[in-house]
């Protein structure tokens, strides 16, 4: 019997037209990833009945839980996933370059079908997860290496099939950004002292919509109020940011990753920018943990008040790929 190798497990994903049903006319894309934990689980509910001895009765079946993370390195090819993370996308351009703007919308897309392909097995198996939505997203930028991202998914059900729902999935490639292509700005001015920054978007999915229908599966996954947060870690050289936190001063942050000239007319010249246009830092005084240089950590909370973009967090991708090519 052949053991499945993790390095040969491909993941594909597609947008659903009906929640919880794999597309009948699929247009799946290959999803490059670092690791994943997406799976179905089902708890067993212990009987409370007392009998004439101490042996338990058989348990009852609990509800189906489909959850898990997909860890990936940010690249210009993740447009479809970004649409499911934010909820909406607007695209500008009749020819390359195209600018795709992803914003928090009133509701997320219907759902995604995500498939893990175990093709090393003697009889290949395809684990399909339908009704998947993005519950949260996190991006971490550091001084070196790739840009680490994680999307946490919730879904409806798992189907183990003997064949893929799309045997001709599109491969857009994978050209990840790295830290040497990054720049960070606070209130429109470059912030050159940052050692690490985290951005987080939570969609607050309501995972409790189970009904009595003999399946134990979620009937729907409505999104709640979004939450935008993060943390800036910076070399402690002055108290400028700390004073903004103490004074509850509104400011903004954005991080940009630029390949080549960033113009987006050709491959290798893409640009991705993540914006939090309105935020407040939380006071968090620097502490001394040893003889090394002191670093200040400032958590922040983003919100929407009156910014023209009307989104507490949004992202822009400038690329030679059109909305159709990115599966938007």
What pLDDT digit, counting tens, does each position of 23-56 carry? 999 999 999 999 999 999 999 999 999 988 889 9
Backbone angles phi, psi at 106, to 5 degrees: -60, -30
Sequence-distant (≥ 6) Cβ neighbours of residue 127 within 8 angstroms: 39, 115, 116, 118, 158, 159, 160
Please report the pLDDT score of residue 222 as a whole number.
93
Q: Is residue 113 predicted with pLDDT exceeding 90?
A: yes
The model's pLDDT over 191-237, given as tens digits with 9 standing for 90+, comes to 888 999 999 999 999 999 999 999 999 999 999 999 999 999 988 88
Question: Residue 79: how many CA atoms within 13 Å on its side-chain side?
Answer: 27
In contact, 278 and 308? CB cutoff 8 Å: no
Neighbour-count burial of 159, counting CB atoms closer than 10 A to its CB (0-12 exposed, 13-18 middle, 19+ buried) = middle
The answer to whether 35 touches 138, Cβ cutoff 8 Å, is no
Helices (H), strands (E): how many in the chain? 2, 19
Note the pTM of the prediction, 2 decimals: 0.93
Q: Give CA 39 to chain center in angstroms.
A: 17
Tell me the pLDDT band of 289, cut-offs 50, 70 and 90.
confident
Measured CA to CA, the distance from residue 136 to residue 225 in angstroms comes to 12
């Amino acid at each position: 019997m052949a053991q499945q190798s993790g390095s040969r497990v491909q993941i594909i994903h597609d947008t659903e037209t009906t929640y919880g049903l794999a597309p009948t006319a699929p247009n799946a894309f290959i999803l490059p990833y670092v690791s994943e934990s997406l799976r179905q689980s089902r708890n067993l509910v212990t009987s409370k009945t007392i009998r004439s001895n101490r042996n338990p009765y058989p348990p009852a079946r609990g509800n189906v839980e489909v959850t898990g993370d997909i860890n990936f390195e940010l690249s210009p090819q993740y447009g479809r996933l970004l649409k499911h993370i934010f909820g909406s996308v607007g695209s500008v351009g009749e020819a390359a370059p195209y600018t795709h703007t992803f914003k928090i919308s009133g509701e997320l897309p219907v759902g995604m079908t995500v498939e893990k392909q175990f093709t090393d097995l003697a009889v290949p198996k395809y684990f399909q997860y339908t009704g998947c939505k993005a519950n949260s997203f996190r991006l971490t930028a550091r001084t070196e290496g790739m840009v680490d991202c994680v999307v946490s998914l919730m879904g409806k059900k798992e189907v183990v099939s003997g064949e893929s729902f799309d045997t001709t999935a599109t491969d857009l490639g994978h050209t990840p950004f790295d830290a040497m292509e990054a720049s960070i700005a606070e209130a429109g001015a470059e912030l050159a002292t940052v050692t690490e920054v985290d951005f987080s978007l939570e969609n607050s999915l309501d995972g409790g919509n189970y009904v009595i229908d003999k399946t134990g599966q979620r009937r729907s996954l409505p999104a709640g109020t979004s939450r935008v947060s993060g943390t800036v870690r910076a070399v402690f050289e002055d108290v400028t940011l700390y004073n903004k936190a103490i004074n509850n001063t509104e400011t903004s942050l954005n991080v940009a990753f630029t390949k080549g000239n960033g113009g987006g007319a050709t491959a290798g010249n893409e640009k991705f920018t993540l914006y939090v246009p309105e935020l407040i830092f939380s006071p968090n005084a620097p502490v001394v943990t040893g003889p090394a240089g002191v670093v200040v950590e400032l958590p922040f909370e983003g919100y929407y008040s009156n910014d023209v973009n009307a989104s507490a967090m949004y992202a822009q991708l400038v690329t030679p790929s059109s909305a159709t090519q990115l599966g938007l």
